[in-house]
Amino acid sequence: MTAITASPVTVDFHGTAIPTFNVEGIVRVAMKPICDGIGLQWQAQFNRIKRHPVLSKGVSMMDIPSKGGIQKYLTLPLNKLNGWLFGIDTNRVKPEIRKLLVAYQAECFDVLADYWQKGEAVNPRATTIAERRPLNRAVRTLANLRSVRGQSADYAGMWKLVNGYLGIEHIDEATQKQVEHAMAFVQEGIERETSRIVEGEWLGRDAAPAPAAITLDYPLTRQWNEWQEHQLIGGDAMYHSDLRRLVQQLLEASRTGAMVQVGRVDNIQSELKALANLCEVQGIQKRAAQSRLARVENFVGALAKTTQCMQSAVSGR
């Protein structure tokens, strides 16, 4: 079997560093470090995977460059990891892992029963877009209240604040309980901002302050082929799309007259390329979509050049 060389992204799994890879849009997981992390004998699991009629078809060997030379890892697609865990003999894992694994396997039985008997299996932990809609409105309200005091309506910044408060990467990972906590957190912010406006703390002695400068800075955080469809289009895109945040910032600058400072736009270019690829793959209004994307791409480039000229003019004063 030919091995593929790739640069891994390391994630923590019960204190063990697990290399993961994104190969042609498929996330793959190195299996030996997982076995080491939960106390399974690797050679036995290697043989089990190779014998399994489903798991064996998903096997791919990955070469990872290291200081000691090239290391080879057997990997499986991430969507096969659940099935592999479901089939583990719980008596063979570390005692501190066993209780969690037994509970996980018990839940798998219920999930499979629901799928085959009811036609669907619902994860009760995650929330839907509809369930998060009141929180979304509250976050927008808080951002807009801050803009009244001369600050930009930084919706992306508000979501980063909420996600940081909950300790999650994206709000779509939040449970119902976390959404309730986030709602209380944002509501406190709304009350605080409203009180400041009513009391007049935002007013200067002679005039309202000039609007704060808006910084457009989108460093590369996700390669174009790592974007998922729900992150690009639909309701969840509001939590993931930097392109949407860029448009919101530009609209805010147009409304308030704030100066715009342009930093990096690498992630915007990555998202645009991912959108173009999605349109091509799905074949949805291909030519019209590519034309619109090209206009947006040209607009972003023109914006960067215009802002650089503005900054040069301001610095030359």
pLDDT in tens, the chain (317 residues): 555 555 566 655 555 567 777 777 677 888 888 888 888 899 999 999 999 999 999 998 888 766 777 888 899 887 888 889 889 998 988 888 888 888 878 888 888 888 888 887 666 666 778 888 889 888 888 888 877 666 666 778 788 888 777 767 778 778 888 888 889 888 888 888 887 776 665 444 444 566 777 888 888 888 988 888 777 877 677 777 888 888 888 887 777 777 888 888 888 888 888 888 877 766 644 555 456 556 656 666 666 665 565 555 555 55
Encode pLDDT of 121-175 as tens digits: 666 666 778 888 889 888 888 888 877 666 666 778 788 888 777 767 778 778 8
Q: Return the closest-CA partner of residue 142 out of 133, 130, 153.
A: 153
Residue ranges, comma separated, of all CATH 3.10.260 domains in the chain are 4-118
**CA dihedral sign of residues 158, 164, 168, 174:** negative
pLDDT at 205: 43
Cβ-contact 275, 290 below 8 angstroms: no
pLDDT at 167: 67
pLDDT at 48: 93
Backbone φ, ψ for residue 59 (5° rounding): -70, 135
Backbone φ, ψ for residue 76 (5° rounding): -125, 150
Q: Is 271 helix (H, G, I), strand (E, B) or coil?
A: helix
pLDDT at 9: 63
pTM of the model: 0.41
C-alpha 4/C-alpha 23 separation (Å) is: 9
pLDDT at 47: 94
pLDDT at 206: 46
C-alpha 149/C-alpha 141 separation (Å) is: 13
CATH T-level assignment (fold) for domain 4-118: Mlu1-box Binding Protein; DNA-binding Domain (3.10.260)
pLDDT at 28: 81
